[in-house]
Amino acid sequence: MAKRDYYEVLGVERTVSESDLKKTFRRLAMKYHPDRNPGDQEAEAKFKEAKEAYEVLGNPNKRQAYDQYGHAGVEQGAGGGSGDFGDIFGDIFGDIFGGGRGGGQRVYRGADLQYGLEVSLEEAVFGTESTIDIPKQSTCEKCEGSGAAPNTTIDTCGTCGGVGQVRMQQGFFSIQQTCPKCRGKGKTIKVPCDYCRGTGLSKENKKLSIKVPAGVDTGDRLRLSGEGEAGANNGPSGDLYVEVHVLPHELFTREENNLLCQVPISFSMAALGGEIEVPTLNGKVKLKIPAETQSGRLFRLRGKGVKPVRGGATGDMLCTTMVETPINLTKKQKDLMKEFSADVEKGGNRHSPKSHSWTDNVKGFFDNLKFWDE
């Protein structure tokens, strides 16, 4: 695959000055560095491409060879420059990550944040988009994180020489500790920013739009890269973890990818059978109740459950019948019920097999107790 023009990669003109070239690369390096974009392969590729381009254009001899011969010039060593690119590149990354050859202030990654998001069962099953308000520390916009008032200078700490650490000699031992003057920053600010009071950070409430994927469940976490606290000294920001909590539903209970629902049926429907409408998250469906259905019988509606967020087959809806006992009966209804009950009793276990089986088991249980007492 042919390489792109190095000037095009960095987005600069061929007449760009060394200082502007350095500023441009610094901006791209901070934007696409892998430490700021963990797991983002596209950002990593752009970072490597920009780094390769600057390794050539940031060296005067290599740049001259590239301008004259193109990629072939630098690949074959035409122009043969001996400039020390390490000093240039180290200086830039000293600005970004505090690790240049001459030391410098250390940068720190910002803290991760966690947010609890409550969603309804329907939102969890079908997915939703929610706006949340996050209180967080961000890079101060007024001073751009430097901590100094605009149009003022930042001096290198005279005590530690900008390293942020000082070495103390005690007898045979040498102890390194945080510089007491700059407190490890490696710099001194004459006029602090009046907005952030020299910290480089400011508190704000940031509104974020969260896309909740379909199929999530309580305990699932969504990661928003770079939306945590801002890092110290322009360090990378932490991440935001949104933990999902599904609210209880008035009709359904979720167990893994299945939905459970209790369906009350009348005494007569349980005895004679019939058809009843039951709710699902996709609308109503008709459920056939066979004659002589007992309480606790389970009916499975396939594919009416939840499609898991990580892929796989959609779960089922499990309907459990509950036979309702009639209440508020009139005298006539009670008399009819007594007459019906007497007729059923005459039929013995033909009409109530479970009841008679249970009665026989109870009788046998007490007979065994009498045997042991003797």
Segment 269-318, tens digit of pLDDT: 988 999 999 999 988 999 999 998 888 999 999 999 999 988 889 999 99
Q: Identify whether 115 is part of a domain.
A: yes
Number of helices and strands in the chain (H, E): 10, 15
**Which pLDDT score is estimated for 97?**
45
**Which pLDDT score is estimated for 258?**
94
Residue 141 and residue 162 share a domain: no
Rg of the chain taking only CA atoms, in angstroms: 37
Mean pLDDT over the full length of the chain: 80
Structure tokens belonging to residue 83: 């400039």
Residue 258 and residue 171 share a domain: no
**Which pLDDT score is estimated for 96?**
46
- Residue 233 banded pLDDT, cuts 50, 70, 90: low
Q: Identify whether 356 is part of a domain.
A: yes
Q: Identify whether 301 is part of a domain.
A: yes
Residue 258 and residue 299 share a domain: yes
Average pLDDT over residues 355-373: 60
Pick the residue with more confidence: 78 or 155?
A: 155
- Percent above pLDDT 70 for the chain: 80
Phi, psi of 306 (to 5 degrees): -115, 135
Q: Identify whether 306 is part of a domain.
A: yes
CATH number at residue 21: 1.10.287.110
Residue 114 and residue 43 share a domain: no
**Which pLDDT score is estimated for 119?**
94
Pick the residue with more confidence: 135 or 82?
A: 135
**Which pLDDT score is estimated for 98?**
43
Query: What is the total count of domains within the chain?
Result: 5
Residue 265 and residue 165 share a domain: no
CATH number at residue 109: 2.60.260.20
Average pLDDT over residues 25-34: 84
Residue 223 and residue 204 share a domain: yes
Q: Which of 40-44, 117-121, 293-297, 369-373 has the lowest mean pLDDT?
A: 369-373
Residue 340 and residue 208 share a domain: no
Q: What does the CA dihedral 91, 92, 98, 99 come to, rounded to 10 degrees? A: -50
Tens of pLDDT along 318-349?
999 999 888 898 999 888 888 888 877 776 55
Which of 17-31, 196-210, 240-254 has maximum average pLDDT?
A: 240-254
The predicted model scores a pTM of: 0.55
Q: Which of 76-90, 134-148, 177-191, 264-278 has the lowest mean pLDDT?
A: 76-90
| Domain of 366, in residue numbers | 331-373
Among the three residues 207, 225, 248, which one is the final residue of a domain in this structure? 248
- For residues 183 and 201, give the distance between their C-alpha atoms in angstroms, rounded to a whole number: 16
Q: Identify whether 11 is part of a domain.
A: yes
**Which pLDDT score is estimated for 103?**
44
Among the three residues 304, 323, 342, which one is the final residue of a domain in this structure? 323
Residue 274 and residue 200 share a domain: no
Residue 337 and residue 310 share a domain: no
Residue 206 and residue 125 share a domain: yes
- For residues 288 and 363, give the distance between their C-alpha atoms in angstroms, rounded to a whole number: 37
Tens of pLDDT along 82-116?
344 444 444 444 444 444 434 445 667 888 889 99
Residue 226 and residue 114 share a domain: yes
In sequence order, what are the beta bridge partners of 242? 115, 222
Average pLDDT over residues 66-81: 66
Residue 364 and residue 346 share a domain: yes
Q: Identify whether 1 is part of a domain.
A: no
Q: Identify whether 45 is part of a domain.
A: yes
Q: Identify whether 342 is part of a domain.
A: yes
